[in-house]
Amino acid sequence: MEKKTTTSRKRDHVQLTVKKNVTFREKTTGFERWEFIHNALPEINLSEVDLSTTFTGKRMAAPFLISCMTGGYKEAEKINRELAEVCEELHLAMGVGSQRQAMEDKRFHSTYSVSRKAAPSIPIIGNIGAPEVAQSKNIPRIQQLVDLIEADALAVHLNPLQEFLQPEGNTNFRGVLNGIEKLVKQISVPVIVKEIGAGISAEVALRLLGAGVTIIDVAGAGGTSWAGVEILRRKQNDRARWNPFWDWGIPTADALHDVCELKEQFPSLTVISSGGISSGLDCAKSIALGSDLTGSARPMLQALQSGGKTELKQTIDQWMKELRGVMFLVGASSIRELRTTKRIRKIES
Protein backbone atom coordinates (compact mmCIF):
# COMPACT_ATOMS: atom_id res chain seq x y z
CA MET A 1 0.00 0.00 0.00
CA GLU A 2 1.23 3.48 -0.82
CA LYS A 3 2.46 5.28 2.27
CA LYS A 4 -0.12 7.83 3.37
CA THR A 5 0.41 11.08 5.18
CA THR A 6 -0.97 11.64 8.67
CA THR A 7 -3.53 14.03 7.18
CA SER A 8 -4.99 11.55 4.67
CA ARG A 9 -4.91 8.75 7.25
CA LYS A 10 -6.97 10.80 9.69
CA ARG A 11 -9.53 11.50 6.96
CA ASP A 12 -9.67 7.76 6.23
CA HIS A 13 -10.33 7.02 9.91
CA VAL A 14 -13.32 9.34 10.18
CA GLN A 15 -14.88 8.21 6.92
CA LEU A 16 -14.55 4.52 7.80
CA THR A 17 -15.92 4.87 11.33
CA VAL A 18 -18.98 6.74 10.05
CA LYS A 19 -19.72 4.83 6.85
CA LYS A 20 -18.55 1.25 7.48
CA ASN A 21 -19.41 -1.40 10.04
CA VAL A 22 -16.23 -1.39 12.07
CA THR A 23 -17.65 -2.70 15.33
CA PHE A 24 -16.41 -5.87 17.01
CA ARG A 25 -17.83 -8.92 15.27
CA GLU A 26 -18.16 -11.42 18.14
CA LYS A 27 -16.82 -9.77 21.29
CA THR A 28 -19.04 -7.41 23.29
CA THR A 29 -18.34 -4.76 25.90
CA GLY A 30 -19.50 -7.14 28.63
CA PHE A 31 -22.02 -4.68 30.07
CA GLU A 32 -24.83 -7.09 29.18
CA ARG A 33 -23.43 -9.38 31.89
CA TRP A 34 -24.29 -6.82 34.57
CA GLU A 35 -27.73 -5.72 35.76
CA PHE A 36 -29.14 -3.30 38.29
CA ILE A 37 -31.24 -4.48 41.21
CA HIS A 38 -34.52 -2.61 41.05
CA ASN A 39 -35.36 -0.48 44.08
CA ALA A 40 -39.14 -0.29 44.52
CA LEU A 41 -38.64 2.20 47.36
CA PRO A 42 -36.11 4.71 46.02
CA GLU A 43 -37.25 7.40 48.51
CA ILE A 44 -36.24 10.21 46.14
CA ASN A 45 -38.04 12.29 43.52
CA LEU A 46 -36.85 12.07 39.92
CA SER A 47 -36.42 15.84 40.00
CA GLU A 48 -33.89 15.48 42.81
CA VAL A 49 -31.47 13.36 40.78
CA ASP A 50 -28.29 15.38 40.17
CA LEU A 51 -26.00 14.31 37.32
CA SER A 52 -23.40 17.03 37.87
CA THR A 53 -19.77 16.28 38.59
CA THR A 54 -16.34 17.90 38.29
CA PHE A 55 -13.37 17.05 36.14
CA THR A 56 -10.03 18.87 35.99
CA GLY A 57 -11.51 21.32 38.47
CA LYS A 58 -14.38 22.30 36.18
CA ARG A 59 -18.05 21.70 36.82
CA MET A 60 -19.86 19.49 34.33
CA ALA A 61 -23.59 18.96 33.94
CA ALA A 62 -23.07 15.19 33.66
CA PRO A 63 -20.18 12.70 33.82
CA PHE A 64 -19.89 12.46 30.05
CA LEU A 65 -17.31 13.40 27.46
CA ILE A 66 -17.24 13.19 23.71
CA SER A 67 -14.08 11.14 23.40
CA CYS A 68 -11.03 12.01 21.33
CA MET A 69 -11.86 11.76 17.64
CA THR A 70 -10.42 14.01 14.99
CA GLY A 71 -8.36 16.96 13.77
CA GLY A 72 -5.48 17.43 11.36
CA TYR A 73 -7.25 17.71 8.00
CA LYS A 74 -9.42 20.40 6.43
CA GLU A 75 -12.88 18.93 7.07
CA ALA A 76 -12.06 18.23 10.72
CA GLU A 77 -12.35 21.92 11.63
CA LYS A 78 -16.12 21.91 11.14
CA ILE A 79 -16.50 18.62 13.04
CA ASN A 80 -14.50 19.80 16.04
CA ARG A 81 -16.19 23.20 16.09
CA GLU A 82 -19.66 21.66 16.16
CA LEU A 83 -18.72 19.03 18.73
CA ALA A 84 -17.27 21.76 20.93
CA GLU A 85 -20.32 24.01 20.51
CA VAL A 86 -22.60 21.21 21.67
CA CYS A 87 -20.36 20.33 24.61
CA GLU A 88 -20.20 23.98 25.64
CA GLU A 89 -23.97 24.32 25.46
CA LEU A 90 -24.56 21.14 27.46
CA HIS A 91 -21.60 21.66 29.85
CA LEU A 92 -19.83 18.41 28.98
CA ALA A 93 -16.18 17.56 28.29
CA MET A 94 -14.54 16.97 24.92
CA GLY A 95 -11.36 15.43 23.60
CA VAL A 96 -9.65 16.21 20.30
CA GLY A 97 -8.12 13.57 18.07
CA SER A 98 -4.43 12.76 17.93
CA GLN A 99 -2.37 15.93 17.59
CA ARG A 100 0.54 14.18 15.95
CA GLN A 101 -0.25 15.98 12.70
CA ALA A 102 0.04 19.32 14.51
CA MET A 103 3.59 18.33 15.51
CA GLU A 104 4.46 17.72 11.86
CA ASP A 105 3.31 21.06 10.44
CA LYS A 106 1.05 24.03 11.16
CA ARG A 107 -1.35 23.73 8.21
CA PHE A 108 -4.24 22.39 10.23
CA HIS A 109 -3.64 23.85 13.68
CA SER A 110 -7.01 25.55 13.46
CA THR A 111 -8.76 22.16 13.28
CA TYR A 112 -7.67 21.65 16.88
CA SER A 113 -7.67 25.19 18.30
CA VAL A 114 -11.24 25.74 17.09
CA SER A 115 -12.37 23.48 19.95
CA ARG A 116 -11.32 25.94 22.64
CA LYS A 117 -12.57 28.94 20.67
CA ALA A 118 -16.01 27.34 20.44
CA ALA A 119 -15.98 26.06 24.02
CA PRO A 120 -14.24 28.44 26.41
CA SER A 121 -15.48 26.96 29.69
CA ILE A 122 -15.54 23.16 29.41
CA PRO A 123 -12.79 20.59 30.05
CA ILE A 124 -10.93 19.99 26.79
CA ILE A 125 -8.48 17.12 26.45
CA GLY A 126 -5.46 17.10 24.16
CA ASN A 127 -4.17 13.91 22.59
CA ILE A 128 -0.85 12.41 21.56
CA GLY A 129 0.31 8.90 20.77
CA ALA A 130 2.58 6.64 22.79
CA PRO A 131 5.43 6.51 20.22
CA GLU A 132 5.71 10.32 20.31
CA VAL A 133 5.86 10.25 24.12
CA ALA A 134 8.60 7.60 24.04
CA GLN A 135 10.87 10.25 22.53
CA SER A 136 11.44 12.34 25.64
CA LYS A 137 12.96 15.14 23.56
CA ASN A 138 9.42 15.76 22.27
CA ILE A 139 8.09 17.00 25.63
CA PRO A 140 8.52 20.75 24.86
CA ARG A 141 6.70 20.19 21.55
CA ILE A 142 3.96 18.27 23.35
CA GLN A 143 3.53 21.22 25.72
CA GLN A 144 2.97 23.37 22.63
CA LEU A 145 0.11 21.05 21.66
CA VAL A 146 -1.43 21.58 25.10
CA ASP A 147 -1.07 25.33 24.68
CA LEU A 148 -2.55 25.21 21.16
CA ILE A 149 -5.96 24.18 22.51
CA GLU A 150 -5.55 25.50 26.06
CA ALA A 151 -6.13 21.94 27.20
CA ASP A 152 -7.20 21.03 30.72
CA ALA A 153 -5.57 17.59 30.40
CA LEU A 154 -3.54 15.62 27.88
CA ALA A 155 -4.42 12.08 26.83
CA VAL A 156 -1.64 9.74 25.82
CA HIS A 157 -3.17 6.99 23.73
CA LEU A 158 -1.73 3.51 23.85
CA ASN A 159 -2.53 1.82 20.54
CA PRO A 160 -0.03 -0.97 19.85
CA LEU A 161 -2.67 -3.09 18.09
CA GLN A 162 -3.61 -0.28 15.71
CA GLU A 163 0.00 0.60 14.98
CA PHE A 164 0.78 -3.08 14.34
CA LEU A 165 -2.02 -3.38 11.79
CA GLN A 166 -1.60 0.07 10.23
CA PRO A 167 0.37 -0.22 6.98
CA GLU A 168 2.31 2.93 7.91
CA GLY A 169 2.18 2.30 11.67
CA ASN A 170 4.83 3.23 14.21
CA THR A 171 5.54 0.20 16.41
CA ASN A 172 8.39 1.77 18.39
CA PHE A 173 6.95 1.31 21.88
CA ARG A 174 10.15 0.80 23.85
CA GLY A 175 10.52 3.61 26.39
CA VAL A 176 6.84 4.61 26.45
CA LEU A 177 6.41 4.15 30.21
CA ASN A 178 9.55 6.15 30.94
CA GLY A 179 8.32 8.85 28.56
CA ILE A 180 4.96 8.98 30.31
CA GLU A 181 6.68 9.34 33.68
CA LYS A 182 8.72 12.28 32.38
CA LEU A 183 5.63 13.82 30.79
CA VAL A 184 3.68 13.62 34.06
CA LYS A 185 6.47 15.52 35.80
CA GLN A 186 7.07 18.16 33.14
CA ILE A 187 3.78 18.91 31.42
CA SER A 188 1.56 21.71 32.75
CA VAL A 189 -1.71 19.71 32.88
CA PRO A 190 -2.80 16.30 34.20
CA VAL A 191 -1.93 13.32 31.99
CA ILE A 192 -4.62 10.81 31.04
CA VAL A 193 -3.49 7.47 29.68
CA LYS A 194 -6.01 5.71 27.49
CA GLU A 195 -6.34 2.79 25.13
CA ILE A 196 -8.39 3.21 21.96
CA GLY A 197 -10.52 0.08 22.01
CA ALA A 198 -8.40 -2.83 23.22
CA GLY A 199 -8.60 -2.11 26.95
CA ILE A 200 -6.22 -1.50 29.85
CA SER A 201 -5.61 -4.34 32.29
CA ALA A 202 -5.09 -3.96 36.03
CA GLU A 203 -1.44 -4.94 35.55
CA VAL A 204 -0.85 -2.15 33.04
CA ALA A 205 -2.80 0.28 35.25
CA LEU A 206 -0.48 -0.54 38.16
CA ARG A 207 2.56 0.25 36.02
CA LEU A 208 0.99 3.56 35.00
CA LEU A 209 0.15 4.43 38.59
CA GLY A 210 3.77 3.71 39.49
CA ALA A 211 4.79 6.25 36.84
CA GLY A 212 2.64 8.93 38.47
CA VAL A 213 -0.44 8.70 36.27
CA THR A 214 -3.69 9.36 38.17
CA ILE A 215 -6.26 9.33 35.33
CA ILE A 216 -6.82 6.18 33.27
CA ASP A 217 -9.33 5.69 30.46
CA VAL A 218 -9.79 1.93 30.05
CA ALA A 219 -11.19 2.31 26.48
CA GLY A 220 -12.04 -1.35 26.18
CA ALA A 221 -13.20 -3.72 23.47
CA GLY A 222 -16.74 -4.12 22.21
CA GLY A 223 -17.40 -0.91 20.34
CA THR A 224 -15.34 0.37 17.42
CA SER A 225 -12.63 -2.08 16.39
CA TRP A 226 -9.65 0.02 15.38
CA ALA A 227 -8.08 -3.21 14.22
CA GLY A 228 -11.06 -3.48 11.88
CA VAL A 229 -10.59 0.10 10.72
CA GLU A 230 -6.97 -0.57 9.81
CA ILE A 231 -7.84 -3.89 8.14
CA LEU A 232 -10.37 -2.08 5.92
CA ARG A 233 -7.72 0.47 4.98
CA ARG A 234 -5.68 -2.33 3.42
CA LYS A 235 -6.08 -3.53 -0.16
CA GLN A 236 -9.01 -5.89 -0.69
CA ASN A 237 -6.80 -8.91 -1.27
CA ASP A 238 -4.75 -8.22 1.87
CA ARG A 239 -7.56 -8.05 4.44
CA ALA A 240 -8.67 -11.58 5.23
CA ARG A 241 -5.37 -12.75 6.69
CA TRP A 242 -5.51 -10.02 9.33
CA ASN A 243 -9.09 -10.80 10.46
CA PRO A 244 -7.96 -12.84 13.53
CA PHE A 245 -7.05 -9.49 15.14
CA TRP A 246 -10.45 -7.86 14.48
CA ASP A 247 -11.85 -8.86 17.90
CA TRP A 248 -8.63 -8.50 19.91
CA GLY A 249 -8.94 -6.79 23.29
CA ILE A 250 -10.29 -6.74 26.84
CA PRO A 251 -14.06 -6.11 27.05
CA THR A 252 -14.76 -2.69 28.50
CA ALA A 253 -16.74 -3.92 31.52
CA ASP A 254 -13.96 -6.36 32.46
CA ALA A 255 -11.20 -3.77 32.15
CA LEU A 256 -13.29 -1.25 34.07
CA HIS A 257 -14.10 -3.64 36.92
CA ASP A 258 -10.47 -4.69 37.35
CA VAL A 259 -8.96 -1.20 37.13
CA CYS A 260 -11.57 0.31 39.48
CA GLU A 261 -10.67 -2.27 42.12
CA LEU A 262 -7.32 -0.48 42.37
CA LYS A 263 -9.07 2.58 43.83
CA GLU A 264 -8.93 1.02 47.29
CA GLN A 265 -5.14 1.04 47.05
CA PHE A 266 -4.93 4.29 45.06
CA PRO A 267 -7.78 6.59 46.20
CA SER A 268 -6.59 9.43 43.97
CA LEU A 269 -7.16 7.32 40.85
CA THR A 270 -9.72 8.71 38.40
CA VAL A 271 -11.15 6.20 35.94
CA ILE A 272 -12.86 6.96 32.64
CA SER A 273 -15.01 4.32 30.98
CA SER A 274 -15.08 4.26 27.19
CA GLY A 275 -15.13 1.67 24.45
CA GLY A 276 -18.53 0.71 23.09
CA ILE A 277 -20.55 2.99 25.37
CA SER A 278 -23.79 3.17 23.40
CA SER A 279 -26.52 4.31 25.80
CA GLY A 280 -27.29 6.00 29.07
CA LEU A 281 -27.64 2.54 30.60
CA ASP A 282 -24.04 1.79 29.65
CA CYS A 283 -23.03 5.07 31.27
CA ALA A 284 -24.91 4.13 34.43
CA LYS A 285 -23.36 0.67 34.61
CA SER A 286 -19.92 2.20 34.09
CA ILE A 287 -20.37 4.56 37.02
CA ALA A 288 -21.85 1.85 39.24
CA LEU A 289 -18.77 -0.26 38.48
CA GLY A 290 -16.58 2.59 39.70
CA SER A 291 -15.84 4.97 36.83
CA ASP A 292 -15.78 8.71 37.40
CA LEU A 293 -16.57 9.68 33.81
CA THR A 294 -17.89 7.97 30.69
CA GLY A 295 -16.96 8.69 27.11
CA SER A 296 -18.23 7.91 23.65
CA ALA A 297 -16.92 8.75 20.20
CA ARG A 298 -18.35 6.93 17.18
CA PRO A 299 -22.07 7.23 18.12
CA MET A 300 -21.58 10.96 18.68
CA LEU A 301 -19.84 11.44 15.35
CA GLN A 302 -22.50 9.42 13.54
CA ALA A 303 -25.25 11.53 15.10
CA LEU A 304 -23.49 14.74 14.10
CA GLN A 305 -22.87 13.55 10.56
CA SER A 306 -26.43 12.33 10.01
CA GLY A 307 -28.43 15.13 11.61
CA GLY A 308 -26.06 17.90 12.63
CA LYS A 309 -25.90 19.46 16.06
CA THR A 310 -29.63 18.96 16.59
CA GLU A 311 -29.38 15.19 16.35
CA LEU A 312 -26.21 15.13 18.43
CA LYS A 313 -27.92 17.07 21.23
CA GLN A 314 -30.96 14.82 21.03
CA THR A 315 -28.75 11.73 21.31
CA ILE A 316 -26.91 13.05 24.35
CA ASP A 317 -30.17 14.23 25.93
CA GLN A 318 -31.68 10.76 25.56
CA TRP A 319 -28.61 9.12 27.08
CA MET A 320 -28.68 11.48 30.04
CA LYS A 321 -32.41 10.83 30.54
CA GLU A 322 -31.61 7.13 30.68
CA LEU A 323 -28.81 7.73 33.18
CA ARG A 324 -31.11 9.84 35.33
CA GLY A 325 -33.79 7.15 35.12
CA VAL A 326 -31.42 4.43 36.31
CA MET A 327 -30.33 6.60 39.24
CA PHE A 328 -33.96 7.14 40.22
CA LEU A 329 -34.74 3.42 39.96
CA VAL A 330 -31.86 2.41 42.23
CA GLY A 331 -32.35 5.29 44.66
CA ALA A 332 -29.15 7.24 43.90
CA SER A 333 -29.61 11.00 43.97
CA SER A 334 -26.03 11.87 42.95
CA ILE A 335 -23.22 10.48 40.83
CA ARG A 336 -21.27 9.72 44.01
CA GLU A 337 -24.16 7.63 45.31
CA LEU A 338 -24.43 5.76 42.02
CA ARG A 339 -20.68 5.09 42.06
CA THR A 340 -20.95 3.50 45.49
CA THR A 341 -24.26 1.71 44.99
CA LYS A 342 -24.47 -1.98 45.76
CA ARG A 343 -27.43 -2.32 43.42
CA ILE A 344 -25.54 -3.84 40.53
CA ARG A 345 -24.66 -7.48 40.13
CA LYS A 346 -23.06 -9.76 37.61
CA ILE A 347 -25.53 -12.06 35.91
CA GLU A 348 -24.66 -15.72 36.47
CA SER A 349 -24.11 -17.50 33.18
For 261-278, the pLDDT digits (tens) are: 999 999 999 999 999 999
- What is the number of alpha carbons within 13 Å of residue 232 lying toward its C-beta? 19
Torsion angle of the four alpha carbons 260, 264, 270, 271, in this order, in degrees rounded to the nearest 10: 0
**What is the rounded distance in angstroms from the CA atom of residue 114 to the CA atom of residue 80?**
7
- The average pLDDT across 64-89 equals 94
pLDDT digits (tens, 9 = 90+) for 21-42: 889 999 999 999 999 999 999 9
Q: What share of the chain is helix, strand, coil (3-state, %, to 5)?
A: 50, 15, 35
Rounded to the nearest angstrom, the gap between the alpha carbon of residue 251 and the centroid of all alpha carbons in its chain is 14
| Among candidate residues 67, 74, 129, the one with its CA nearest the CA of residue 286 | 67
pLDDT band at 5 (very low <50, low <70, confident <90, very high): low
Q: Quick one: CATH architecture of 6-346?
A: Alpha-Beta Barrel (3.20)
- Cβ count within 10 A of residue 137: 7
Domain coordinates in residue numbering, the chain: 6-346
- SS3 at position 116: helix
3-state secondary structure of 195: coil
Tell whether the model's pLDDT for residue 2 goes beyond 60. no
Rounded CA-CA distance 287/281 in Å is 10
Residue 239: Cβ within 10 Å count: 15
Q: For residue 1, what pLDDT band results from cuts at 50, 70 and 90?
A: very low
The pLDDT of residue 10 is: 66
